[in-house]
């Protein structure tokens, strides 16, 4: 997955490289193939407009010259520079590609270098990492034509370093996202289990309440079906009930009667012993 923010970091870091933010430009004096004075004048005017940032005027001037010199690779190169400045990267790539038809190695190196710039800006602005990889290949082709181009070497190493940093960040993000996902799933599972336990407890409680209600209902029904006791039965039950105080009085009375009986028995026995002694 492409990290667009990382690509923007690349764009911000690039201004230190002069040729990336301001492509190499061929002045009118270098356009040896444009010998006609009128063509050279139009080219000079277009060059001035380019230098002053009037890119629409510059593009119009180069386009007019192109009608007379359609085969000029230098002219295609300058048209590519205008499109680059305007942010028309697709048109810039087409123009730089057309500029590669020349035989001059230094000019071809410049075209490849600015092709690399364009691919880099295209990838950085859109977040397409494949464009950054393509920009490295363009810089390599620049070095093939001009091995001494230190800016191309620097840009290759710079972009490689940023791609590696971006890959590490993506790996960390993927790892963090996976960890967050696993933690969320674990939390959701725990919540689901707890919810099931709570529901089961609630269900058990409801079952117990229903059971108690049913038992009470059955008991009430049985009580309703029992025949009502008559007044005589109620009075009889009341009579059979022994008051604790009354029971104590009865018990005390029985004890007194037992004592009286024992005394009478002892008196009777004593009288019998006395009567037998007179017989002697």
- How far apart (Å, rounded) are the C-alpha atoms in residues 235 and 229? 10
Q: Would you state the pLDDT for residue 23?
A: 43
Residues near 58 by Cβ (< 8 Å), separated by ≥ 6? Answer: 46, 47, 49, 50, 78, 82
The residue to which tokens 């407009």 are assigned: 49
- How far apart (Å, rounded) are the C-alpha atoms in residues 118 and 92? 7
Classify residue 170 by burial, with Cβ atoms within 10 Å: 0-12, 13-18, 19+.
Answer: middle
**CATH for the stretch 4-172:** 1.25.40.10
Buried b / exposed e along 225-234 (16+ C-beta atoms within 10 A): eeeeeeeeee
| Cβ atoms of residues 138 and 123 within 8 Å | no
List, for the chain, all residue ranges whose pLDDT scores fall below the cut of 70. Answer: 1-35, 226-242, 268-280
132 to 3, 15, 80: CA distances (angstroms): 13, 17, 19
- How far apart (Å, rounded) are the C-alpha atoms in residues 80 and 52? 17
250 to 52, 173, 254: CA distances (angstroms): 136, 97, 6
- How far apart (Å, rounded) are the C-alpha atoms in residues 119 and 134? 7
Fill in the DSSP letter of residue 32.
T
Q: Would you state the pLDDT for residue 142?
A: 96
| Cβ atoms of residues 104 and 144 within 8 Å | no
Give 54-57's long-range contacts (Cβ < 8 A, gap of 24+).
Answer: 55/82, 55/85, 55/86
Q: Residue 127 half-sphere exposure, CB side, CA atoms within 13 Å?
A: 6
């Amino acid at each position: 997955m492409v990290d667009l923010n990382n690509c923007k970091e690349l764009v911000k870091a690039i201004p230190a490289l002069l040729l990336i933010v301001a492509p190499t430009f061929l002045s009118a004096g270098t356009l040896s193939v444009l010998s006609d004075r009128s063509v050279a004048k139009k080219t000079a005017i277009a060059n001035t407009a380019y230098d002053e940032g009037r890119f629409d005027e510059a593009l119009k001037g180069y386009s007019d010259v192109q009608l007379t010199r359609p085969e000029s690779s230098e002219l295609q190169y300058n048209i590519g520079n205008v499109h680059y400045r305007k942010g028309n990267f697709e048109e810039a790539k087409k123009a730089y590609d057309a500029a590669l038809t020349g035989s001059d190695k230094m000019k071809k190196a410049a075209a490849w270098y600015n092709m690399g710039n364009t691919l880099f800006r295209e990838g950085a602005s859109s977040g397409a990492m494949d464009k950054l990889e393509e920009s490295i290949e363009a810089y390599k082709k620049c070095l093939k034509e001009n091995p001494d181009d230190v800016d191309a070497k620097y840009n290759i190493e710079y972009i490689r370093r940023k791609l590696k940093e971006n890959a590490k960040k993506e790996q960390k993000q993927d790892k963090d996202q996976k960890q967050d996902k696993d933690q969320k799933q674990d939390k959701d599972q725990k919540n689901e289990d707890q919810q099931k336990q709570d529901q089961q407890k609630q269900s058990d409680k409801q079952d117990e309440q229903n059971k108690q209600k049913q038992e009470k209902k059955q008991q009430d029904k049985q009580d309703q079906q029992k025949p009502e006791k008559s007044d005589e039965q109620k009075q009889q039950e009341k009579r059979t009930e022994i008051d604790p105080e009354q029971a104590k009085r009865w018990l005390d009375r029985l004890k007194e009667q037992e004592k009286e009986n024992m005394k009478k028995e002892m008196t009777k026995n004593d009288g019998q012993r006395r009567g037998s002694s007179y017989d002697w």
